[in-house]
């Protein structure tokens, strides 16, 4: 069984009124909405590529429109400013990453779960687009701190909250002993990042190879479990 951590369903049932429009009208509206959503996704993909290539300051709405083959007016129909577009790009990528990172098998032990999360986390963190966007955010942080806040809230902060929830569940099951699961989550992510992420961002080393990622994360999980693992919980094991 697979569970997406952090996705909590609303059990307060409510039912919308039945749409009384003719079927043909409803179908036409659905088609228009689908095309609009597809167009929005295309804009986000193209804008994300340009922001990563050229940075925030050097990117203009005109440039994005030219790459799309449309007009600035089309962009402004979807996003009221370049800042809004950048925020949407970041949020969309962070949502996609969270869906991958926390799509987990609940039958795994906490050590196995952390191994899966850690490997996916570092693979994403060292991906070319992620590294480029991290550099863009850092470069713009002093001039436009709201962009840095958007990036942090949608990415690192959200990931920390979701990992905290997983650790709290593990604590409730008796797998770990931690007074502060939020702090424990921060420790684990720091163990995963190590010095490799900073060196990669500074272009001092290439991204880790898959085998290297496994080695780094195995050691991170062993270290984490040595500190927080409950007696008898066992050492880290490879994810099933």
Q: What is the pLDDT of residues 150-174, one digit of tens each?
A: 889 988 999 999 999 999 999 999 9
Mean pLDDT of 90-112: 88
> What average pLDDT score do residues 21-35 get?
46
> Considering the domain boundaries, does residue 62 fall inside one?
yes
pLDDT class of 203 with cuts at 50, 70, 90: very high
238: left (phi over 0), alpha (psi -120 to 50) or beta: beta
Outline where the chain has alpha helix (H): 23-54, 61-68, 72-78, 82-101, 110-125, 128-140, 145-152, 158-172, 181-193, 196-201, 210-228
Q: Has residue 79 been placed in a domain?
A: yes
Q: Which of 237, 225, 105 shows the shortest CA–CA distance to 176?
A: 225
- Decide if 237 is inside a domain: no
Residues pairing with 103 in the sheet: 4
Task: Classify residue 64: in a domain, yes or no.
Answer: yes
For residue 140, the enclosing domain spans 23-228
Does a structural domain hold residue 134? Answer: yes
Residue 175 pLDDT exceeds 90: yes
Distance CA 39, CA 51 (A): 18
Pick the most confident of 1-5, 88-92, 119-123: 119-123
Number of domains in the chain: 1
Average pLDDT over residues 103-113: 91
Give the pLDDT score at 192.
Answer: 97
Residue 145 within any structural domain of the chain: yes
- Res 71: pLDDT: 84
Q: How does pLDDT run across 137-151, given as a tens digit for each residue?
A: 999 899 889 889 988
Average pLDDT score, the chain? 84
Residue 35's pLDDT is: 56
The CATH number of the domain where 83 resides is what?
A: 1.10.357.10
196 vs 99, residue with greater confidence: 196
Task: Kindly indicate the confidence band of residue 97, based on its pLDDT and cuts at 50, 70 and 90.
Answer: confident
């Amino acid at each position: 069984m697979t569970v997406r951590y952090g996705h909590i369903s609303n059990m307060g049932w409510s039912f919308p009124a039945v749409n009384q429009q003719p079927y043909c009208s409803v179908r036409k509206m659905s088609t228009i909405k689908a095309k609009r959503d597809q167009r929005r996704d295309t804009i986000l993909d193209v804008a994300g590529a340009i922001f990563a290539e050229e940075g925030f300051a050097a990117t203009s709405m005109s440039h994005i429109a030219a790459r799309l083959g449309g007009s600035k007016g089309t962009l402004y129909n979807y996003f009221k400013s370049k800042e809004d577009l950048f925020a949407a790009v970041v949020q969309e990528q962070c949502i996609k990453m969270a869906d991958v990172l926390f799509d987990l098998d609940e039958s795994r032990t906490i050590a196995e779960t952390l191994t899966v999360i850690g490997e996916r986390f570092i693979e994403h963190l060292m991906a070319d687009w992620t590294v480029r966007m991290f550099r863009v955010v850092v470069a713009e942080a002093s001039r436009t701190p709201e962009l840095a806040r958007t990036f942090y809230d949608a990415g690192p902060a959200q990931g920390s909250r979701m990992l905290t929830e997983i650790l709290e569940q593990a604590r409730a099951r008796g797998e770990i002993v931690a007074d502060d699961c939020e702090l424990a989550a921060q420790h684990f992510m720091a163990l995963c990042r190590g010095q490799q992420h900073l060196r990669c961002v500074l272009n001092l080393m290439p991204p880790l190879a898959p085998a290297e990622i496994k080695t780094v994360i195995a050691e991170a999980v062993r270290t984490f479990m040595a500190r927080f693992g409950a007696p008898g919980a066992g050492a880290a094991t490879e994810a099933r």
